[in-house]
Structure 1
C-alpha cells in the first residue's frame, strides 16, 4: 500500500505536463489527501506542506512556511549532511533520489522514514519535492501481523474439531489440540510425520494418487468437498470422521488443510433412527413425521398398506393435501389445524376419517405431538392414528339405546377432558339438547361446565375434579343450569366415572326438577314472609326515631351557631376594615410588617368562612330546584377551590353530553366545594382527585382522592356537627354536605382506607 501511494505522489509531482489543465486548488486537494508527508522547497525554503506533513511532525503550517524555518530542523543530526548532498544534486533527467533516514518531530520523538527528493519546476523555477513515508506504522503492522499469526494458532487450538495441515510430501505441518484428542498423537510426536499414520490401509493407495496430482497442480478431487470416511487412532482403532479439505500456498508450496470431525455419535444416532424406523414399520397403527412446513418426511409401512398408497404418492406433500383426505374439506381443516397447533408446542387429539385408494372409509383417532431438538425448539410433528372403525360402530349402537331415554324425559351426557377443554361434551342425547336449548353441534364444541350457573360453578368444578381424581363423593346432586336463552333450570343429576376410548370420562343422567323447586320455594316464602314484615317495620321505627333525635340535636346546635356567628361577625368586620386601612396607609413598611398584615388578612378570611358555615348551618334550607347539568356544577366548584397544581382532577361521566338533574344549583355546588377542599387537603406531594358520575336507576356521584385516608374508628363520626380531625376548622363541612344531600332525598356515604385514599358516594333518586 505504501508503494502504491508513493507511485501516485511521484506521478502527480513529475507529470506536470499532463496536469497542465488542472487548477491549483485541485492540485493541492490531491496532495492534501495523501497519507505521506509532502514538502515543496524552493531556494532552501518550504513553500508548501500537505496536511500529513503538518500532522506528522508537530509544527503548524505558519511555522513550516516561515522564511526563518530551516527544513534541516526536521532531519536527525546524523543524516543532515547526507540529505543536503542528495537534495543538492540536479540531474538532467528527473531521477528520484532515495535515502533511509531518521527524522525528528517537534516533541523530540525520532521516527524512521523513507525519504525521497524529486526535482520539479514551480512557476518556471527549479524546486524540490520531498516525500516522506513513516516506517514506524509499517513496523507496528508487521508486529501486529506476527501477533495475529500467534493468535490464529491459539484460536485453532481451541477448536473442538481437528485441524491438520499437510504439505505436498504428505508431511504433517500443523496439528491442533482437537487432532490430539481425536487421534491420540501429541503435536511434538506427529509433526513432520507422514499423513499415512492416521489413514487406514484401505484408503492409502487412493491418498497417494491424490497427493501426486495435488503436488503438481495444487488441486484434487477432495479439495473444497466434505467427505465421510475413517481415520486411524494411535492405538489402531478406526474412527468414523467427516473431512473438509481446502488448499493454500505458502513460500511457493501448496498446503492442504483439513478440518476433521468425529462423527461416531452421529453414526450411532443414525443407527438408532434406522432401528426405530424398523420398529415403527412393524406396528399396526398409522405413524408418520411432518417437518416444520407440515410436509410428510416419513410414513410407516403399515399405514401405506392399509391405505394402499406408495411412498412416492405422499412423501414430500403437505399431510392435509394427501389423497386420503380429498373427500372432506372439513377434515383437511381439522388436520391442518392440529399440525399447526403442535408446531406451536401443543399435543392435539381428534377423530377423523380417511379413505383408502379404493374408497373405503376408516375412522381414525388422530394425535399430533411436537418433536423437539436439543435446544427445545420444535422441528417437526409426530403423527399417530389408531383405527377405531369397529369401536365407532359399537358406539353408534350405544347412542341409539341412550337416545331412547329422551322419550322418558331422561337426559344423558358423556364428557371428557380432551382437546384442551375440561369436561368437553363427547355425547349427549336429544333431551339434553332440548333442555339446554343448544344444538348437539354446539354442545360438542362446549364444556359441560359452561352451562352451570355462575353462582355455583366453582363448587361444581371442584366436585367434578375431585370425582375424576377418584374421590368417593355422593352420586346425586342438585344444581342450576343456564339455558342458551338465559333461562335457568334446576336439575337433579346422578353421575359416575367411566372409561371411554382408553381415557377417563364422566357420564351423568338427569331430570328437570325446576317445577318441584318452585313449589318448595313458594312454601318457604310463606314461612319467611311474616318474619320479614316484622323485621322491616322494626327497622323503619328505629330509623325514624334516630332521625328525630338527630333533628332535635341539629336544631339546638343550629340555634347556638347562629347566635355565635352574629356576635362574632360585627367585631370581625371592624378588624377587617382596620387591617385594610393599615395596608393602605403603610406604604413604606418593613418585610416583617408586610408578612403580619398578610397573615391577619388570611386568618380573617378563614374566620369569615367559618362564620358563613355557622350561619348556613343554623338556617332551615329548602332546596330551590331547577334543571341543570351536574357536570356544570362540578366544574364551577373546581374553579373556586384552591387546588394545588400537583393535584390532578379527573371527571368520568356516564353520558358524553352531560347528566341532566333537577336540584338546587348553589346547594350542590357547596357540597362539591366542601368535598373538593377536603380531598385537596388530604393529598400531600401530588395525587389525583377523581369524580365519577353514573346515571342509571339513580344518580350516583363518587368523589375519590389518593390522600391519607380516614381512620376506621372515626368514619362513623365525620358527618356529626362540630366533629373534625383537622387542626383548623370546626367540623361543619361534612355535616352541611349530609344536610343538603338528604334535603334532596339522597344519601351520602364514605369508604376509606387509611393511607390509601377516601371516596364519598352520593346517591340521589332519578327524579327529586
Structure 2
C-alpha cells in the first residue's frame, strides 16, 4: 500500500519526505531508474517500514510467487530484516533473500538521519542452484520446470553492475537530501520540478562527462594494449578489435564483421564454440583461462589464452562478449620442452644405480629414485615423499652434524651416516651431496647421492681389528706376496730381526733369509705356494746386525676369494 507518512528528522519534530519532494515526483524518479537499471525498485519509509511509492518493474517471478501466502510471509519478514540492516549500518548494503535473489538498500538522509530508503533488486548474480530451486518448488507446490523458467527470467547482474546501480541511486538520494536540508528545494510543485530537472540534468551531464573520459581512457588502453582486445555480438560476429591483432598478420578490417569460427584452429573450434554457447545460454557469465589455437594470416596455429565477460540485457539475453586474448604460444612451446626434459630427467633419475634424493630446506623428502627406494626396502615412492628425512636417521644428532658439514663448504663427499631401513635394519650410507639455492642465493634444499657402504664399513672395522691382533701378537708375522715382496711386518718381527717395517716393506724376502737356507729349503716355498701349510720348521734368519737368529717357523699360503694362492705368511718364534 502507499502511504504519505514518513520519518522523524529532528529530535522533536517529524518531517515528511513529501515536504520536500512530492510522491508523484518520487514515483517518476523511481520508475525511470527502475526501467533504466533493469531492477525492481521501491522507496520505503524508515519509520513505519511501509512503502512510500508503488513498486516499479516487479519481476515475473516475484509477482507470481507473492500470490502464495507462505512465500509472501517469508518476503515480509525478510524485507523488515533488510530495512533494519540498512538503518543500523547507516549506509547502502547488499542482501540475498530467502529465494536466492539479490537486492540492495540505499538510504535517503536528512540532517544526518535516514528518513527513507530505496529497496532495489529482484536480480540474480549467478546461475540457479538447481537443488535449491527443486526444494522451493516442492515446498510451494509448483511444477519444477515452471519455477525454473520463472527464475531464469530474472535479470542476471554482475557484481560490478550492482555496485554501479547502488552508486547511482546513492548520488540521487544524497543530492536530494542535501538540497532539501539547505532549503534550496522549494515546496512549490512547479519550483520542485524545476529544481529536480536541473538536478537530474546536472547529474546526467556529470555522468555523461565521466563516461566520455572513461571511454577515452578505455580507447587509449584498447588501442595500445599488448593483448588482443575484442568484442563479439550475440551471434559471435566481431564488432570491434584492437590493433594488436596485427601481431598475427590481420588488420582490423580483416576481422570485424566476421564470425569467430573463421579464425579458430579446426581442432580447437569445438571447445571455443562450447564456451560461447555457455555464455549465450547464461550457464556462465565469464570465461577464464581458456587455451586454444588461432590461425594467423599465414595459417600457422598460434596458442592464446582467453578471458572474457558477457553482457546481458534486462531480459537476460546476450548482448555482447568482451574478451582478452593473451599470446601464450612461446610459453606453451617452452612448457612442452620442459615436460620433455622433465621426462628425460625422470628416466635418467630412476635408471641410476645409486640412490639419488632431494630434500627441501625443512628436510622434507621431495625426490627419491628407485635405487634409493630399494636401498631402504620401500616399495612405493609415496612411502617416503613428504616425510622428513630425519626419520631415517638412527641418531638425529647425526643429521645436525651432516647439515653443519654441508653448510661449511656447500657440499660433502663420502660423508658416512647411519640410517634405518623400512624393516628397522641399520645401514651405513655414504652421502655425496650439495646445497640447492634459489635465484637469490638462498638455500632451498639439498640433493645428493646415497651409497650403501655397510659392507665396506664392516670390512674396514674387521680389518682394523685383525690389524691390531697381528700388530700385538707375540710371534713375528710376515706377509709375502706372489712376487716374494714383503707386504706385512709386525712389531715382533721388528724385535726379532731388528729391521723396522719401513725398512723391509716392499723388499724381496730373500734379504732376510740366509743364502744357504735359500738354496737348501727352496722346496718349502714351492710347497706353500702350491697350497700346503708347513709347520715347526727350524730356520735361521739374518738380523740387522748380521747375527744368525735360530727360530721355529710356520709357513701358510694366502689365498684370494677364488682360492688362488697369492702369497704366503710366516709366523716365527725364537728358540
Q: TM-score, normalised by structure 2?
A: 0.43
User: With CA pairs under 8 Å and 6+ residues apart, which has the higher RCO, 1 or 2?
Assistant: 2
Q: TM-score, normalised by structure 1?
A: 0.33
